[in-house]
Amino acid sequence: MHDTPAPSPPSLNPPPSLVTRTERTAAPDEGAPLRRISIEIARVCNLRCIYCYSGASSERTGGLTDDEVRAVIAEAVEAGARLISIVGGGEPLLRRSVLRDGESCIDYANELGCYCTLYTNCTRITSEAARWLHARELTVVGKLNSLGEATQDQLTGVPGSARRIRCGIDALLDAGFGGYDQPRFALETVICRANYDEMPELWRWMRRRGIVPEVEIPTMHGRAADNRDRLYFDEQEAPSRYRELFEELLAIDRGEFGFDWPPHPPFAAGSCRLYETNCYINDRGGVQPCAGVDAEVGYLRVGPRARSGQRLRDVLATPLFQAIRKVRERLKGACKTCAINHECYGCRGAAWHATGDLFAEDPVCWRAHPDRLAPESPSRRLPVLGGAVSRAAWRREVDR
């Protein structure tokens, strides 16, 4: 009796990444100090996600006015940005003007030659809203942490939110988002104790629908710091658990979808590029390196400190921001000597909240902390690809 040979996996290619430009956008200036901004409209949200970095809730008020949002976008374009991410700090679609013709910050950015990405929890996405967004040829990044309603509601902190999220996702798919010819739809997923075991099936669910999965390790700040026991693995256990999961997701992509990528935190099948091209504008007009590092480099002439603020271009020229731009040169510890630091500089937010040092080694990276990895053994999670694969053999393969 002979074993049936394993089916040949498809040819391996890099995974699809989100489309971020169209023929309608202005040509980028490669020498400009900025390529992209992420801007919070207001930290108001209809959910209370236990991992929320901003701690947004329905009680929060304030934020930037529509005129101030447009002013920030105009300054960003003047500094070279052609990509505008509307992140809200909570749920941006709670601001009705976002989807109104003639008032929308999305339309304003498009008129200036920019390409927009909208981050939303999907609860406010109706069929009409999905069609409106699709007509703008923008990218939508939604949120989905579980296919199970109970787990999803537990993580969002609002009963019934799981059904509303799924309805919003369905509306976006029906409107034409999804598919890998021109990927313009992604779903963010945080890895935590509650959804860890279902992550492989959730990954397949997104891949089969042409949704780009943005699966990530959450940073420990905002509301996440108050829920660390519900979200995070023990410090000694975390590197092994994250590595095990990332390796399984890679095995699924290689064997079932023909995609290949180097596994490293904080994103599966992706790398952070924000520190070299981006800046983050919070709801008070403060300029941050990213959402995961809640430390301001400077602040703009909008919001409560408008009278003493600076132009965005001047903030970008400060020595502190220029040091952030040279992140790869300033890495410390294992991140500095890592063999793949040309591809990855670790999670700066994780380093910041663990050590107070923006350039310290990533505290949950398995490459930085081999002493915390579980002993070599066949994995209960890794699929069999053409025969039994030991954990040691698989690691040699994925590290090549």
Query: How far is it, in rounded angstroms, from Cα 309 to Cα 332?
Result: 32
pLDDT truncated to tens, each residue of the chain (400 aa)?
Answer: 444 444 555 678 999 999 888 888 999 988 999 999 999 998 899 999 999 998 888 876 678 999 999 999 999 999 999 999 999 789 999 999 999 998 999 999 999 999 999 999 999 999 999 999 999 999 999 999 999 999 999 999 999 999 999 999 999 999 999 998 889 999 999 999 999 999 999 999 999 999 999 999 999 889 999 999 999 998 889 999 999 999 999 999 999 999 999 999 999 999 998 999 999 999 999 999 999 998 999 999 999 999 999 999 999 999 999 999 999 999 999 999 999 998 999 999 999 999 999 999 999 899 887 877 766 433 434 333 333 333 343 234 333 3
Q: Which CATH class is domain 36-274?
A: alpha beta
pLDDT for the residue numbered 2:
41
DSSP annotation of 255 reads I
- What residue type is assigned to position 2 of the chain? H
pLDDT for the residue numbered 9:
58
pLDDT for the residue numbered 389:
31
Q: Which residues contact 16 (CB under 8 A, 6 or more apart)?
A: 180, 183, 212, 259
pLDDT for the residue numbered 125:
98
CA-to-CA separations, 346 to 163, 263, 328, 364, 371, in angstroms, rounded: 34, 11, 10, 9, 18
pLDDT for the residue numbered 123:
98
Query: What is the SS3 assignment for 335?
Result: helix
In 71-202 the beta strands, taken as DSSP E runs, fall at: 83-86, 115-119, 139-143, 185-190
Q: pTM of the predicted model, to two decimals? A: 0.90
Domain ranges of the chain: 36-274
CB pairs under 8 A, 24+ apart, for 157-160? 157/47, 157/48, 157/49, 157/50, 158/46, 158/47, 158/48
pLDDT for the residue numbered 89:
85
